Amino acid sequence: MRTFETATRSDWITDRALRAIIATAMALPYKQRVRWFGAMAERLVAPTAGYLKRSRTQISMIWPDMEDAEVNRLARACCNNFGRTMIEGYSRGDYTAQLADTMPTGAGMEHLAKAKEDGRPVLFVTGHFGNHDAPRHVLNRLGYTIGGIYKPISNPYFNEHYLGTIKDVSGPVFPIDREGMAGFMRLLNGGGMGTMLFDVRVKKYPAIPFLGHPAHTSTGLGAIALKTGSLILPYFGTRREDGLNFDVTIETPVELTTPEQIMRDVTDRLEARIRAHPDQYFWVHRRWG
């Protein structure tokens, strides 16, 4: 991540443009705000930033026989969801209110309740799909305190206010550096609960098949789970057709085996979600290669 001292003028200009769009959105009523920001991301931000092109490229790689019209539809829907997810993060109070009646489902809820009763650490795992923060909001309302790990954004101006969208949701958040990881480990070793997104490209780690293509995947999550004896629970927030509400699902635990096998297992869980709702995956991220 660049610091303010090493930031470029382009960083500053990009941040000021984003701040202006966010401020415009925040002046709108919540439902209109989410729809408008999603449309802005799809029609303006994504094409300008190259996200739409990257999404098309990666979707075509996964489904080479897919017709161009469907590839374009999925890419645009992905960018729209990306925008909605972003502005939902900035709309803390309104977003929490929107989720007020959302109840989590899934076989993992029983395991979660038992882990809390026994004081066993829980490591939630998810991917850049739907809105990955929806489960944490919902579970926090039900009395579960869940910390997190985040990767700082390279633009320091943008990172400064983006960090506010993930802090204080439910438990502490830690940067993905040596000190941050030490804090996250202390949280779990103390019987706490934390969440990690694993589907980012980290070239020093093994290439694990993801949607039929090798993708470098950190095995750190698996190693952390084994060291702390954490219960691994995949969870997902799938956006409903109305574009505003979510189905929050807590899946059955992933078995504690080896770091690489754990990552293969959680990858399988994410794959199933993507195949069911390919328009909700964040194809804007550079995942393969």
Reported as a single tens digit per residue, the pLDDT across 32-73 is: 999 999 999 999 989 988 999 999 999 999 999 999 999 999
Q: Is 281 exposed, middle or buried (0-12, 13-18, 19+ CB in 10 A)?
A: buried
Return the DSSP state at 51. Answer: H
CA distance 152 to 163: 8
Q: What pLDDT is attached to residue 215?
A: 97
Q: Which domain holds residue 32?
A: 9-96
The reply to whether 286 falls in a domain is no
Cβ within 8 Å of residue 128, ≥6 positions away: 197, 199, 281, 282, 285
pLDDT (average), residues 1-20? 79
Count of other CB atoms within 10 angstroms of residue 74: 22
Q: Tens digit of pLDDT for each residue in 214-238?
A: 999 999 999 999 999 999 999 999 9
State mean pLDDT over 277-289: 96
Shared domain check, 18 and 130:
no
Domain-terminating residue out of 50, 71, 96: 96
Query: Looking at the structure, do residues 130 and 237 belong to the same domain, yes or no?
Result: yes
Tell me, yes or no, whether 3 lies in a domain.
Answer: no
Please indicate, yes or no, if residue 284 is contained in any of the structural domains. no
Provide the pLDDT for residue 275. 98
- Structure-block tokens of residue 132: 């990955």
Residues 39 and 90 in one domain: yes
Decide which of 182 and 14 is more confident. 182
Q: Pick from 64, 96, 128: which residue ends a domain?
A: 96
Q: pLDDT value at position 120? A: 98
* CA distances (Å), origin 13, targets 23, 46, 47: 15, 17, 17
pLDDT at 131 over 80: yes
The radius of gyration of the chain from alpha carbons, rounded to an integer in Å, stands at 19
Q: What pLDDT sits at residue 138?
A: 97
Residue 2 has pLDDT above 80, yes or no: no
Is residue 4 pLDDT above 80, yes or no? Answer: no
E strands present in 154-285: 173-175, 193-197, 207-210, 213-216, 231-239, 246-250
Q: Which of 46, 76, 96 is the last residue of a domain?
A: 96
Q: Is 14 exposed, middle or buried (0-12, 13-18, 19+ CB in 10 A)?
A: middle
The answer on 219 and 76 residing in a single domain is: no
Mean local confidence (pLDDT), 243-263: 98
Residue 30 pLDDT greater than 90, yes or no:
yes
Residues 242 and 135 in one domain: yes
Tell me, yes or no, whether 139 and 264 share the same domain: yes
Same domain, 88 and 121: no
pLDDT tens readout for residues 78-96: 999 999 999 999 998 999 9
* pLDDT for the residue numbered 1: 58
| pLDDT digits 0-9 by tens, 186-196 | 999 999 999 99
Predicted confidence at residue 44, as pLDDT, reads 92
**Residue 20 in this model has a pLDDT that exceeds 70:** yes
Query: Quick one: pLDDT band at residue 245, thresholds 50, 70, 90?
Result: very high
> Given pLDDT bands bounded at 50, 70 and 90, which one contains residue 97?
very high
What integer best gives the mean pLDDT of the chain? Answer: 93
- Supply the pLDDT for residue 255: 98
What pLDDT was estimated at residue 7? 73
Domain count across the chain: 2
Assess if residue 248 is contained within a domain. yes
Residues 199 and 214 in one domain: yes
Both 130 and 32 in a single domain? no
Residue 275 phi/psi, 5-degree rounding, is: -65, -30
Q: Is residue 39 part of a domain?
A: yes
Is residue 82 a contact partner of residue 46, using CB atoms and an 8 Å limit?
yes
- Residue 51: inside a domain, yes or no? yes
Residue 288 inside a domain? The answer is no
Question: What is the tens place of the pLDDT at every residue in 153-187?
Answer: 778 888 888 777 777 677 788 888 889 899 999 99
